[in-house]
Chains A and B, each alone.
Chain A
C-alpha cells in the first residue's frame, strides 16, 4: 500500500508545485500582457478605472505611433545595435581566441582588465566623452553611439566567446594540426562549427544591450541620432491621454529584444554572467 502511495503522493506534489510555478510565471509576465492589451485599446478604455477587460481591439495606436515618425528612431537603433554588435564580434572573437585556445602570457590579467572596464560606471566617463564628442562635432551622430556601444559590450563578448572557445576539444585541434591543417582550415572546419551557436548567442546579447541602452543615448543624441528609448521618452510630454499609444510604442520597441532574448534564452545566463555560469 505504502509503495503505491509514495509515487502518487510525489506526483500530486509535482503537479501542485507545477501550478504554483505557472501562477508565478503569469504574475510576472502580467505587466507585459497588460502593456500589449492596452496597446490595442482606445485611449479612453486604456485610462478607465476599473480597468477595461473586454474591448474591440484596434490598431489605431500603432498607426498613431508611426504617424509620430518613429521610423528614424527605429533605424537609428537598428544601425547602432547592428553595427556595434558587428564590431564587437570582430574585435572580441580573435581576442577571445588569444585568451583561450592559444593563450598569450598573462592572459588572466587581460581577461580581468576587460571585465573591470565593464564595472566602471558610465556616469564617470560621461563628461569627458561628452566634451570630446562635442569638440569633434560628433554629438547626435549614430556612429558615436556605435563606438560607445562597442566598448560597452566588448568585455561581455570577450568573456562569453572565451567560454565558448574553451569547449573546442584540444585533442581535435591538435589532431588537425598534426594532419597539417592551417589556422584558417581549423577555424573553418573545427572551431566555427562548435562555437557558432555561442557566437550567435553573444551577438544577440550584445544586440539586446545596445538596443535597450538609454543613459548614453539621452545625453549624447537628440533629433538626428535619437534611438528608440529616446522616442519613448519624448512621448510623455504630449498632452491628454497617451497611455494606449505609449503602450503601443513600448510594445513595438521591446519586440525585437523579446524575440532575440527568447531565442537566446538557453545561453542568456552564460552571457549575463560573463561566461562564469554555464
Chain B
C-alpha cells in the first residue's frame, strides 16, 4: 500500500482530509507541552505577587531532590505495576475460561466487562464507602472484624479497585489473542498426545506474548495517569503513602500554587512516559506489521 507519487496538487488533495485533525492535535496537545517546558524554567508561585525570574534547571533540581516527589515516583511505579500485573494474571485466567464454550458464555462476558464500564470515580467511591468502610462496608459486613481497610492497607486498597476495573480490559485483549490461535494447529497438537497444560505453556503462551505485551503497555499508559482512585479513596494518604505523580502534581499546582515546580514535575512525567511509550509503540508496530503482511 505504498502511497502513489503524483504532482504537488495531487499530494495536497491527498493531505487535505488529514490536515484538520493533524493541526487540531498539534495545537491542543503539543503547544501546551511547550508552554510547560517554558514554565518549568521560571520561579513562579501564584501566591507570591511580582516577577517570575528565570531560574534555568533549578526547578528540576528541586523536584528531583524533593523526597515527596521521589516517593510519588515510587508510588506511581508500585501502583501501576501492581495494578497491571494483577489485572493481567486475573485477565488471563478469565480469558482462558471464556475461550471455552459453555452455556451463557456471552452473558458471562457481559458481566465480566461491566466493572470496566462503571464510571471510574463512581467505582472508587463505591469501593471506599460501600466495600472498605470499617463500620458498614461489605467486607467487614460479610466476614466480620472492624479493620479499616483503607488506612491499614492504603496501597492494596487502591490497587484492588484498579485491578477490579482493569481486569476486563486485559481479559478482552487476551481473549482476542486466544481466539486468533489456529484451531487446526491446536487440534494437531492434541492428536499428537499433548495434554492441555503442555499446549497452554508451549503453544498458547508464546502465541499470547504480543497480546500480553500490548495489554501491559496500554494498561501502563492509562494507569500511570491514575488520579480518580487516589483522589477519592485515599487523598494520597495516609501521609503520602498513595500519592502518585499525577496527584502530587495536582497538589503542587492547585494547593501549593508552585507553578514552576509543578511544570518541571510534569516534564519529568512526560520523559518517563516517553520511555514506556517507546516500548509500547514497538509492540504496537509489530502487531501492525503482522496486520500488513496478512
Contact = CB atoms under 8 A, between A and B. Distances in A.
Interface residues of A, number: 102
Contacts of B259: 127
B253 A127 contact: yes
B25 A114 contact: yes
Interface of B is mostly: helix
Interface string A224-264: 00001100110110000011001101100110011011100
B269 A124 contact: yes
B269 A253 contact: no
Nearest to A278: B176
A51 B167 contact: no
A121 B228 CA distance: 14
Contact of A47 (B105, B114, B136): B136
A54 interface: no
Contact of A128 (B35, B270, B277): B35
Interface in B249-294: 249-250, 253-254, 259, 262-263, 266-267, 269-270, 273-274, 276-277, 280-281, 284-285, 287-288, 291
B269 to A, nearest CB: 5
Nearest to B172: A269
Interface centre among B39, B104, B122, B138 (most CB of A within 10 A): B122
Nearest to A230: B121
Given A94-B18, A254-B117, A15 B131 contact: no
A104 B227 CA distance: 38
Interface of B: 1, 3, 11, 14-18, 20-22, 24-25, 28-33, 35-36, 39, 93-94, 97-98, 100-105, 107-123, 125-127, 129-131, 135-136, 138, 140-142, 164, 167-169, 172-173, 175-177, 180, 211, 214, 218, 221, 224-225, 227-228, 231-232, 245-246, 249-250, 253-254, 259, 262-263, 266-267, 269-270, 273-274, 276-277, 280-281, 284-285, 287-288, 291
